[in-house]
């Protein structure tokens, strides 16, 4: 082997492995970087010598750039080299080849560019990436003079010049990158380098310090507390990255679920979802620290006026009051020691900023950060602080920005210490995209958008409600703390209610406001659960809900909060289906609360029959009036029922009559008429599943003459409901006429071996059976991991237990499904008897976990 | 080892390529191809016979990866190539018996 560097590919791999693993395990990621960089340095130098001795070449200089230049090589990082040549045009390709081949053959990812000093400089002027790569240049070997020339010139004529332009270019790059890596998938499985607050952001912060202060020591420009925090944050990210490189055996910067599960125990977190959540919490906290560091470094540079104006503006400060002054359109401190003398002035600062619609000057924010240690219990319970805070909330406008700012500066968790416990906290699942603190602030943002009219066109009803509810500040506070119970174990709503009570007392809310706040926090899921899991056509549902809500102010606030809460979960969470269900529940309940009855919304049986007698011919009317059950008559207007009767007439010739109307681009309402038979619902569910139609809800009716008349709300995420429903009809016809069975079709689909399924967070299976939420039905709620044909299996199990399904609601949250069924037994009664219920529960559970799959 | 073959819209090639190199895929083969699937071309009549014309231009890319990477690569292509419209393309996965780097004679995973 001509290119032998005295080590084989496997030996190198083992050497890396040893470095990464110990024993003793390397104490810190920086330790690993150092040893690893030394190892690579020696190999690169060897390759360089060998190449030089074999290929005649002019005197050149070899540099390390990028992360290799910084000596921050993770186990499988790219190794970027730069070969400096004295002048342009030299034929360096053979030399580079000789350097690269042996390194490549060792499995190293090496890139090498070759340029002259002047080429480097001109390229760095036009290309941000080249410029930032050069910031970290490091001499490796060869002609030192060349390195020195580049180093000096680069600093003097490039890096230290036009720093604000450099900051602007970086800001643009950051924005673009965050946009690309901001989607939910990247929050759940973060890209450790590119996301907000990732390794690249830290880099940007350091480069800025380097350009502005001409020092390598980024920590030199920060307070000691901040330095410790950021130091800890970056070490944590580095540790994780080193681990995932090592575990994957390649460059891998996506912290996928699979890697989260593997890394958490390695870093000493407890095994299982709790440990992963803890690790990811630290991850998010670290990322937000880093992101703050970089953002503030950027702001500081960008908010500085051009040099010429600096002198002029210094005496243009205008006093606002004894503490604050205007400075270049931003709010500054008149006396720098204001906060240390009187920390309560901090809140006044934000009040001013809100009223004057002005930003706070970066150095004032520094003063705030510096004074955080003085902010303690006395601050939290000082009435002047709380009064000011509440008036900020009540003012509404810009309150979301203000709260975000307070959060970033670390003030929010000082004011509401309970908030600190939910910072960075995540759920290990697919549904909750954001950490709880971020989710809470997004909830506030949604409420403000409603209040300020940003949603007027899209959500007119909610927008008008948001404008009329008072005190609005209380609703904002509620948005902010509604999930505050998630800081600890147990039912978060109940715990949150207790904490809300304490917060209300500390803030000096009136007794009435306190009760309202506690109710809203404790029951913030009430409306969501009722709307999505209960039959809104059932009078009893509305009665029960209205009784709990009590008054229309509470109802309005709860409606607004439910909206904001769902919208803040992630872009996929809010759907037009949820919109219509919540609105329906709101309208029915507000009508009931204000008029005292449900008349008008629930048409009586007599009324519908009277209408029907006018639409239908006397002969048809008399034929059907005895056949139509009263629940059915309460569900549809007369005109629709008349149409159903026409459909029913057609099943003399056809097995199945299906009609449908499109509700929006994804959703459709399917009406289906056939002869009732054993297990009909399961077969419908199966056929829907086969055609990728998601069932959202179902109304199932059986007429006394044995006709089944069902309506389904379905969804096709690919926006081709026409094609899917046609397919569904074909499949169901085949099944009903006995040409095939669902089971057989399902088996056929399962046959493709496919790829290893992606590792996803596990979902607990749960079955709740209750006999008290409806007057006539037993309500079965199942929740578990979504998988192929699950709804078919569950409904099949219900059928096998003799349950007649009358109503169903199906929701999906990431990979978790929640299905609710209103069922009766063969005799049209609720299911009774502990043994029977237990048995049903057990067999549903085993279907959910897939235990009965083989049987 | 697996070969992943993806047929994507030509203007998505860059995005797919960048996404793949982000996750550490080191090489790929790309070809311009023409074809049709459900996004059919249209039919023309000529002397009473029907001719299907307009094969739609696509890009086919091939990547060879180790088994552990298959799922991530497929997912990455899926995400990057998706517009949600008809004609986004397809992804196929094949088993690969052997790989050889000609210059060095390396085999198996060392050769990819």
Q: Could you report the per-residue pLDDT of A510-522, keeping only the tens digit for each?
A: 999 999 999 999 9
Are residues A283 and A270 part of one domain? yes
- Closest residue in chain B to residue A249, using alpha carbons only: B68
- For residue A457, pLDDT over 50 is answered with yes
Q: Which of A181, A254, A571 to mutate to test the interface with B (most CBs of B within 10 A)?
A: A254
CA A76 to CA A107: how far, in whole Å? 9
Q: Which of A250, A430, A572, A716 to mutate to test the interface with B (most CBs of B within 10 A)?
A: A250
- For residue A597, pLDDT over 70 is answered with no
- Closest residue in chain B to residue A78, using alpha carbons only: B24
Are residues A152 and A30 part of one domain? yes
What local confidence, expressed as pLDDT, does residue A614 receive? 87
Whether omega for the bond prior to residue A471 falls within 30 degrees of 0, making it cis, is yes
- For residue B94, pLDDT over 50 is answered with yes
- For residue A833, pLDDT over 70 is answered with yes
Interface of B with A in 28-67 (CB under 8 A): none
Are residues A171 and A150 part of one domain? no
- Closest residue in chain B to residue A194, using alpha carbons only: B22
The total number of structural domains that make up chain A = 3
Contact assignment for B71 to A251 by CB distance below 8 Å: no
Are residues A296 and A240 part of one domain? yes
Contact assignment for A755 to B79 by CB distance below 8 Å: no
Contact assignment for B93 to A250 by CB distance below 8 Å: no
Least confident interval from A251-255, A470-474, A630-634: A630-634
- For residue A221, pLDDT over 50 is answered with yes
What local confidence, expressed as pLDDT, does residue A14 receive? 82
Nearest to A755 among B23, B71, B79 (CB): B71
Contact assignment for A248 to B68 by CB distance below 8 Å: yes
- What is the Rg, in whole angstroms, of the alpha carbon atoms belonging to chain B? 17
Are residues A132 and A237 part of one domain? no
Per-residue confidence band for A187, with pLDDT thresholds at 50, 70 and 90: confident
Q: CA torsion B9→B12→B17→B23, rounded to 10°?
A: -110
In 3D space, the residue among A840, A851, A783 whose CA is nearest the CA of residue A812 turns out to be A783
Distance from CA of A350 to the nearest CA of B (A): 42
CA A522 to CA A494: how far, in whole Å? 5
Per-residue confidence band for A2, with pLDDT thresholds at 50, 70 and 90: very low
- In this predicted complex, what is the ipTM? 0.75
What local confidence, expressed as pLDDT, does residue A173 receive? 94
What local confidence, expressed as pLDDT, does residue A791 receive? 86
Least confident interval from A4-18, A404-418, A540-554, A834-848: A4-18
- Map out the domains of chain B with their CATH numbers: 2-111 (3.30.70.120)
Nearest to B74 among A109, A251, A755 (CB): A755
Say if A726 falls within a structural domain.
Answer: yes
Residue pair A610/A583 in contact (Cβ under 8 Å)? The answer is no
Contact assignment for A758 to B79 by CB distance below 8 Å: no
Are residues A740 and A784 part of one domain? yes
Between these two residues, B50 and A130, which has the higher pLDDT value? A130
Nearest to A755 among B24, B26, B93 (CB): B93
Structure tokens belonging to residue A589: 């309940």
The residue out of A115, A130, A161 marking a domain boundary is A161
Q: Which residues of B touch A107 (CB under 8 A)?
A: 110
- For residue A599, pLDDT over 70 is answered with no
What local confidence, expressed as pLDDT, does residue B24 receive? 83
- Closest residue in chain A to residue B112, using alpha carbons only: A107
Beta strands in A694-839 (DSSP E): 694-702, 707-715, 766-770, 778-785, 804-813, 816-824
Nearest to B24 among A191, A252, A256 (CB): A252
Percent of all residues in chain A with a pLDDT value above 70, rounded to a whole number:
94
CA A630 to CA A643: how far, in whole Å? 17
In 3D space, the residue among A789, A799, A847 whose CA is nearest the CA of residue A823 turns out to be A799
Least confident interval from A22-36, A145-159, A399-413, A755-769: A22-36
Whether omega for the bond prior to residue A24 falls within 30 degrees of 0, making it cis, is yes
Q: Which of A9, A12, A251 to mutate to test the interface with B (most CBs of B within 10 A)?
A: A251
Distance from CA of A671 to the nearest CA of B (A): 28
Say if A401 falls within a structural domain.
Answer: no
Least confident interval from A783-792, A796-805, B92-101: A783-792
Structure tokens belonging to residue B5: 């073959």
Distance from CA of B38 to the nearest CA of A (A): 13
- For residue A170, pLDDT over 90 is answered with yes
- Closest residue in chain B to residue A250, using alpha carbons only: B24
Residue pair A396/A451 in contact (Cβ under 8 Å)? The answer is yes
Nearest to A9 among B26, B84, B110 (CB): B110
Q: Is B71 on the interface with A (CB under 8 A)?
A: yes
Q: Which of B72, B78, B80, B112 to mutate to test the interface with A (most CBs of A within 10 A)?
A: B72
- Closest residue in chain B to residue A753, using alpha carbons only: B93
Say if A841 falls within a structural domain.
Answer: yes
| DSSP structure string for A453-497 | TTTTTT-HHHHHHHHH-S-HHHHHHHHHHTTGGGGSSS-HHHHHH
- For A175, other C-beta atoms within 10 Å of its C-beta total 11
- For residue A541, pLDDT over 70 is answered with yes
Are residues A169 and A155 part of one domain? no
Per-residue confidence band for A853, with pLDDT thresholds at 50, 70 and 90: very low
Residue pair A6/A108 in contact (Cβ under 8 Å)? The answer is no
What local confidence, expressed as pLDDT, does residue A673 receive? 94
A755-765 average pLDDT score: 84
The residue out of A124, A139, A161 marking a domain boundary is A161
In 3D space, the residue among A447, A461, A462 whose CA is nearest the CA of residue A398 turns out to be A447
Are residues A196 and A157 part of one domain? no
- CB pairs A-B closer than 8 Å: 29
Per-residue confidence band for A854, with pLDDT thresholds at 50, 70 and 90: very low
Are residues A702 and A631 part of one domain? yes
Say if A571 falls within a structural domain.
Answer: no
Whether omega for the bond prior to residue B83 falls within 30 degrees of 0, making it cis, is no
Say if A90 falls within a structural domain.
Answer: yes
Whether omega for the bond prior to residue A757 falls within 30 degrees of 0, making it cis, is no
What are the CB-based long-range contacts (under 8 Å, 24+) for B39-45? Answer: B39/B86, B39/B87
Q: Is B104 on the interface with A (CB under 8 A)?
A: yes
Q: Which residues of B touch A758 (CB under 8 A)?
A: 71, 75
Distance from CA of B43 to the nearest CA of A (A): 22
Say if A577 falls within a structural domain.
Answer: no
The whole-chain average pLDDT of chain A stands at: 88
Say if A412 falls within a structural domain.
Answer: no
Out of A296-310, A516-530, A633-647, B51-65, give the one with best mean pLDDT: A516-530
Say if A443 falls within a structural domain.
Answer: no
What local confidence, expressed as pLDDT, does residue B57 receive? 86
What local confidence, expressed as pLDDT, does residue A637 receive? 84
The residue out of A286, A304, A322 marking a domain boundary is A304
Q: Is B22 on the interface with A (CB under 8 A)?
A: yes
What local confidence, expressed as pLDDT, does residue A1 receive? 43
Q: Is B99 on the interface with A (CB under 8 A)?
A: no
Per-residue confidence band for A534, with pLDDT thresholds at 50, 70 and 90: very high
Between these two residues, A813 and A531, which has the higher pLDDT value? A531
What local confidence, expressed as pLDDT, does residue A706 receive? 87
Q: Which residues of A touch B104 (CB under 8 A)?
A: 105
The whole-chain average pLDDT of chain B stands at: 86
Q: Which residues of A touch B70 (CB under 8 A)?
A: 755-756
Contact assignment for B110 to A755 by CB distance below 8 Å: no
What local confidence, expressed as pLDDT, does residue A322 receive? 78
Contact assignment for B110 to A251 by CB distance below 8 Å: no
Backbone angles phi, psi at A533, to 5 degrees: -125, 0
What local confidence, expressed as pLDDT, does residue A185 receive? 74
CA A777 to CA A779: how far, in whole Å? 6
Are residues A146 and A177 part of one domain? no
Least confident interval from A173-187, A584-598, A836-850, B48-62: B48-62
Q: Which residues of B touch A105 (CB under 8 A)?
A: 104, 106
Structural domain containing residue A707 = 626-848
- For residue A446, pLDDT over 60 is answered with yes
Residue pair A99/A63 in contact (Cβ under 8 Å)? The answer is no
Are residues A843 and A827 part of one domain? yes
What local confidence, expressed as pLDDT, does residue A458 receive? 93
Contact assignment for A250 to B24 by CB distance below 8 Å: yes
- If DSSP codes are grouped into helix, strand and coil, which group holds residue A819? strand
Between these two residues, A753 and A336, which has the higher pLDDT value? A336
In 3D space, the residue among A781, A770, A782, A783 whose CA is nearest the CA of residue A830 turns out to be A770
Per-residue confidence band for A310, with pLDDT thresholds at 50, 70 and 90: low
Q: Which residues of B touch A719 (CB under 8 A)?
A: 84
Are residues A715 and A686 part of one domain? yes
Distance from CA of B74 to the nearest CA of A (A): 9
Q: Which residues of B touch A250 (CB under 8 A)?
A: 24, 69
Least confident interval from A81-95, A531-545, A563-577: A81-95
Between these two residues, A438 and A571, which has the higher pLDDT value? A438
What local confidence, expressed as pLDDT, does residue A88 receive? 61
Contact assignment for B23 to A756 by CB distance below 8 Å: no
What local confidence, expressed as pLDDT, does residue A311 receive? 53
What local confidence, expressed as pLDDT, does residue A855 receive? 35
Nearest to A756 among B22, B71, B110 (CB): B71
- For residue B44, pLDDT over 80 is answered with no
- For A532, other C-beta atoms within 10 Å of its C-beta total 22
Contact assignment for B68 to A252 by CB distance below 8 Å: no
Contact assignment for A185 to B79 by CB distance below 8 Å: yes
Nearest to B70 among A254, A256, A755 (CB): A755
How does DSSP classify residue A254?
B
Distance from CA of A755 to the nearest CA of B (A): 7
Distance from CA of B46 to the nearest CA of A (A): 31
CATH number at residue A59: 3.30.460.10
Q: Which of B5, B22, B88 to mutate to test the interface with A (most CBs of A within 10 A)?
A: B22
């Amino acid at each position: 082997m001509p290119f032998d560097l005295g080590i084989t590919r496997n030996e190198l791999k083992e050497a890396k492995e040893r470095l990464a693993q110990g024993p003793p395990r390397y104490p810190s990621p920086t330790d690993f970087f150092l040893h690893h960089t030394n190892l690579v340095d020696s190999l690169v130098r060897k390759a360089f010598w060998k190449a030089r001795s074999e290929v005649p070449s002019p005197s050149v200089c070899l540099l390390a750039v990028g992360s290799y230049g910084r000596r921050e090589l993770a186990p499988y990082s790219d190794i970027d080299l730069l070969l400096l040549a004295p002048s342009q045009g030299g034929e360096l390709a053979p030399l580079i080849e000789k350097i690269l081949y042996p390194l490549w053959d060792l499995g190293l990812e090496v890139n090498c560019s070759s340029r002259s000093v002047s080429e480097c400089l001109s390229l760095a002027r036009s290309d941000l990436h080249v410029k930032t790569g050069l910031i970290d240049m490091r001499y490796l070997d060869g002609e030192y003079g060349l390195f020195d020339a580049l180093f000096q010139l680069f600093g003097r004529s490039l890096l230290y010049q036009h720093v604000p332009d450099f900051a602007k270019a970086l800001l643009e790059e950051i924005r673009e990158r965050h946009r690309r890596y901001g989607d939910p998938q990247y929050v759940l499985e973060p890209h450790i380098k590119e996301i907000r607050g990732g390794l690249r952001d830290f880099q940007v912060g350091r480069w800025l310090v380097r350009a502005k202060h001409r020092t390598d020591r980024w920590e030199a420009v920060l307070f000691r507390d901040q330095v410790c925090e950021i130091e800890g944050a970056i070490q944590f990210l580095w540790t994780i990255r080193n681990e995932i490189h090592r575990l994957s055996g390649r460059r891998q910067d996506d912290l996928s679920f699979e890697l989260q599960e593997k890394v958490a125990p390695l870093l000493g977190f407890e095994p299982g979802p709790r440990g992963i959540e803890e690790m990811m919490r630290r991850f998010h906290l670290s990322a937000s620290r880093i992101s703050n560091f970089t953002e503030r470094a950027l702001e500081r540079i960008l908010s500085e006026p051009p040099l010429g104006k600096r002198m002029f503006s210094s005496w243009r400060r205008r006093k606002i009051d004894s503490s604050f002054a205007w400075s270049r359109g931003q709010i500054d401190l008149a006396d720098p020691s204001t906060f240390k003398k009187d920390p309560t002035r901090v809140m006044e600062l934000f009040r001013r900023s809100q009223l004057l619609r002005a930003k706070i000057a970066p150095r004032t924010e520094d003063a705030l950060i510096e004074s955080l240690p003085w902010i303690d219990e006395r601050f939290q319970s000082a009435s002047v602080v709380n009064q000011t805070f509440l008036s900020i909330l009540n003012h509404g406008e810009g309150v979301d920005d203000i709260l975000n700012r307070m959060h970033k500066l670390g003030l929010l968790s000082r004011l509401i210490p309970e908030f600190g416990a939910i910072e960075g906290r995540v759920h290990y699942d697919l549904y909750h995209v954001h950490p709880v603190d971020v989710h809470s602030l997004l909830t506030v943002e949604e409420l403000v958008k409603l209040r300020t009219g940003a949603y007027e066109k899209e959500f007119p009803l909610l927008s008008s409600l948001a404008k009329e509810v008072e005190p609005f500040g209380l609703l904002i506070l509620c948005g902010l703390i509604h999930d505050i119970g998630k800081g600890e174990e147990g039912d978060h709503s109940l715990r949150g209610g207790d904490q809300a009570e304490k917060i209300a007392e500390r803030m000096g809310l009136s007794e009435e406001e306190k009760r309202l706040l506690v109710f809203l926090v404790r029951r913030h899921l009430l409306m969501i659960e009722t709307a999505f899991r209960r039959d809104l056509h059932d009078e009893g549902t509305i009665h029960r809900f209205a009784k709990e809500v009590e008054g229309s102010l509470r109802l309005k606030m709860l409606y607004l909060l439910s909206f904001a809460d769902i919208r803040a979960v992630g872009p996929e969470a809010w759907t037009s289906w949820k919109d219509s269900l919540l609105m329906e529940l709101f309208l029915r309940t507000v009508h009931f609360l204000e008029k005292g009855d449900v008349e008008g919304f629930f048409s009586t049986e007599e009324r519908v029959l009277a209408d029907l007698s006018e639409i239908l011919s006397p002969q048809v009317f008399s034929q059907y009036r005895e056949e139509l059950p009263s629940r059915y008559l309460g569900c549809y207007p007369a005109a629709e029922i008349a149409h159903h009767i026409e459909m029913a007439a057609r099943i003399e010739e056809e097995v199945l009559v299906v009609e449908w109307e499109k509700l929006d681009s994804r959703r459709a309402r399917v009406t289906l008429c056939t002869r009732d038979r054993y297990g009909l619902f399961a077969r419908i569910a199966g056929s829907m599943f086969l055609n990728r139609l998601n069932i959202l809800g179902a109304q199932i009716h059986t007429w006394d003459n044995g006709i089944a008349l069902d309506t389904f709300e379905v969804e096709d995420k690919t926006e081709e409901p026409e094609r899917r429903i046609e397919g569904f009809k074909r499949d169901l016809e085949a099944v009903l006429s006995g040409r095939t069975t669902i089971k057989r079709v399902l088996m056929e689909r399962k046959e493709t071996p496919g790829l290893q399924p992606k590792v996803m967070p596990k979902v607990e299976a749960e079955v709740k059976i209750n006999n008290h939420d409806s007057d006539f039905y037993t309500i079965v709620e199942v929740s578990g991991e979504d998988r192929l044909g699950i709804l078919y299996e569950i409904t099949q199990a219900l059928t096998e237990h003799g349950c007649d399904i009358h109503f169903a609601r199906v929701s999906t949250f990431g990979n978790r499904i929640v299905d609710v069924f209103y069922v009766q037994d063969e005799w049209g009664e609720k299911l009774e008897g502990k043994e029977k219920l237990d048995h049903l529960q057990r067999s549903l559970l085993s279907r959910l976990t897939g235990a009965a799959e083989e049987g | 080892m697996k070969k992943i073959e993806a047929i994507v819209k030509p203007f998505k090639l860059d995005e797919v390529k960048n996404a793949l190199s982000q996750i550490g895929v080191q090489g790929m083969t790309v070809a311009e191809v023409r074809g049709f699937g459900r996004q059919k071309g249209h039919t023309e009549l000529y002397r009473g016979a029907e001719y299907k014309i307009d094969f739609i231009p696509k890009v086919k890319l091939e990547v060879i990866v180790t088994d552990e990477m298959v799922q991530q690569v497929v997912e990455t292509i899926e995400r990057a190539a998706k517009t949600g419209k008809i004609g986004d393309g397809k992804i196929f996965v094949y088993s690969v018996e052997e790989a050889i780097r000609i210059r060095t004679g390396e085999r198996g995973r060392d050769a990819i």
